[in-house]
C-alpha cells in the first residue's frame, strides 16, 4: 500500500509541481511512466479477479463462468511471461548503463602514479573510429591476448613464488621463453566468455570467471594426464574439490580474476594493441604465431621424450635422439619444476 501511495504522490507532483521543482528530482522516462500505468492496470485487474472469486463460490457450475476464468488464467500466464522478459531486459539495461557510466567516470579521474584504466566503452569507440585490425574479439585480438597472457601469467607467478617461497622457480609451460599457454588459453577463454559482459556490472564477470576458469582448469588437467600421464597440480587435499583438478577456493579466485581481467587488464591490453598500426600489427601477430607454433611442437616432443625416458624407453629415431640431446632431464626439470609423472 505504501508503494502505491508513493507512486500516486509522485504522479500528482509531476502534474502539479513547478518546472524548477521537477528539475530537482529524477525525472521519469517514458518507460517509467508506462510501468506506472501498467501497475495501475494490474491493481484494476486484481479487483476484477475478486468478482470471479465470489462468483465461483456463490454461483452454480456455469459454462460461461468457466470459460471466462480459464481465459483469464491463460491471459495472466502470457502477461507473466511478457513481464518476466521485460524485467530481464530492463534489469540488464539498468545494469549496463550504470556500469558504463561508472567505468567512464572512473577512467577520467587523474592519478599520479598509475594511469586510470580506460573504460571498455572508450576502447570500443576507439576501435570503431580507427577501423582497427584487432577490433572486437577477432582472430588478431585473440592471438595477441593469448601471447600476452602467456607471458604476463608467468611473470605474476614468478613474483608470487618469490614472495611466498623466497626463491625464483620456473613457471614456464613452453621450452623457449617465459611463456605458459595455460595462462594464454585462460586469457582467451576469459576474454571470449566475458567480452559480452565487459560493460556490465562486476558480479556478472565474477560468475562468468568462476565457471569459465574452472572448466578450463579441469580440461587442461584431464588432457595432460590423459596424453602425458602427468599432473602439474593436484587439489585432492583441498575442500570441495572435483577429482583433484579444481576446487572451490580456486574457483573463487577465478571469479575475482574474471572481474580484474575484463575490467582492468583487458582494457589496458586493448589500449596497447590499439597503438599498433594495422599493417605492422598484422605482420607482428603472424610472426608471433609462427614462433608459438614451433615452440608448441618442440615442447610437445620434448615432453613426450621426457615421459618416455622416465618409463625407460630409448629413442626410436634420429629426431628423438636429437630431442634427448637438446632437452635432457636436467633441463626439463628446470623448465617444468612442478611436473609430476604418474607411477605405473
Which residue in this structure is represented by grid cell 626410436? 316
Q: Judge contact between 134 and 281, C-beta under 8 A.
A: yes
What CA–CA distances, in Å, run from 57 to 21, 50, 65, 66, 157?
51, 11, 11, 12, 72
Domain end (from 46, 73, 107): 107
Is residue 21 in some structural domain? Answer: yes
- Cell reading at 229: 600421464
pTM for the model = 0.70
Residues 82 and 193 in one domain: no
CB hemisphere CA count around 135 (13 angstroms): 13
Is residue 112 in some structural domain? Answer: no
Strands 246-247 and 241-242: antiparallel
Buried/exposed code over 219-235 (b: 16+ C-beta within 10 A; e: otherwise)? ebbeebbeebebbbeeb
Q: What CA–CA distance (Å, rounded) separates 144 from 276?
A: 11
Which domain range does residue 94 map to?
Answer: 2-107
Residues 99 and 151 in one domain: no
Residues 79 and 128 in one domain: no
- Average pLDDT per consecutive 10 residues, the chain (344 residues; last block may be shorter): 55 51 66 92 90 86 86 94 95 93 90 85 94 94 94 86 79 90 86 92 91 87 82 85 90 90 92 94 96 95 89 89 91 82 58
User: How long a stretch of residues is the chain?
Assistant: 344
Residues 194 and 90 in one domain: no
Residues 160 and 218 in one domain: yes
Strands 241-242 and 230-231: unpaired
Amino acid at each position: 500500500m505504501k508503494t502505491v501511495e508513493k507512486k500516486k504522490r509522485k504522479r500528482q507532483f509531476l502534474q502539479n509541481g513547478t518546472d524548477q521543482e521537477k528539475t530537482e528530482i529524477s525525472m521519469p522516462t517514458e518507460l517509467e511512466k508506462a510501468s506506472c500505468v501498467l501497475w495501475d492496470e494490474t491493481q484494476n485487474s486484481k479487483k476484477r479477479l475478486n468478482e470471479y472469486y465470489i462468483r465461483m463460490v456463490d454461483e452454480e457450475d456455469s459454462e460461461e463462468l468457466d470459460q471466462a476464468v480459464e481465459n483469464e488464467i491463460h491471459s495472466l500466464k502470457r502477461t507473466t511471461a511478457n513481464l518476466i522478459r521485460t524485467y530481464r531486459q530492463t534489469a540488464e539495461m539498468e545494469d549496463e548503463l550504470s556500469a558504463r557510466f561508472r567505468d567512464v567516470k572512473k577512467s577520467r579521474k587523474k592519478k599520479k602514479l598509475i594511469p586510470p584504466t580506460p573504460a571498455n566503452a572508450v576502447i570500443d569507440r576507439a576501435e570503431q573510429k580507427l577501423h582497427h585490425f584487432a577490433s572486437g574479439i577477432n582472430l588478431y585480438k585473440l592471438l595477441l591476448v593469448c601471447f600476452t597472457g602467456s607471458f604476463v601469467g608467468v611473470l605474476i607467478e614468478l613474483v608470487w613464488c618469490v614472495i611466498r617461497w623466497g626463491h625464483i622457480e620456473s613457471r614456464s609451460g613452453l621450452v623457449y621463453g617465459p611463456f605458459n599457454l595455460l595462462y594464454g588459453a585462460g586469457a582467451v577463454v576469459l576474454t571470449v566468455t566475458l567480452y559480452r559482459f565487459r560493460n556490465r556490472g562486476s558480479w556478472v564477470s565474477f560468475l562468468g570467471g568462476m565457471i569459465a576458469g574452472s572448466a578450463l582448469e579441469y580440461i587442461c588437467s584431464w588432457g595432460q594426464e590423459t596424453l602425458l600421464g602427468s599432473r602439474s597440480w593436484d587439489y585432492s587435499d583441498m575442500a570441495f574439490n572435483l577429482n583433484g583438478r579444481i576446487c572451490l577456493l580456486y574457483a573463487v579466485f577465478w571469479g575475482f580474476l574474471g572481474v580484474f581481467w575484463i575490467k582492468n587488464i583487458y582494457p589496458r591490453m586493448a589500449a596497447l594493441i590499439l597503438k599498433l598500426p594495422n599493417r605492422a600489427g598484422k605482420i607482428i601477430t603472424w610472426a608471433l604465431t609462427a614462433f608459438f607454433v614451433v615452440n608448441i611442437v618442440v615442447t610437445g616432443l620434448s615432453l613426450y621424450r621426457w615421459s618416455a625416458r622416465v618409463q625407460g624407453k630409448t629413442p626410436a629415431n634420429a629426431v628423438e635422439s636429437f630431442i634427448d640431446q637438446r632437452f635432457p632431464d636436467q633441463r626439463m626439470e628446470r623448465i617444468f619444476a612442478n611436473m609430476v609423472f604418474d607411477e605405473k
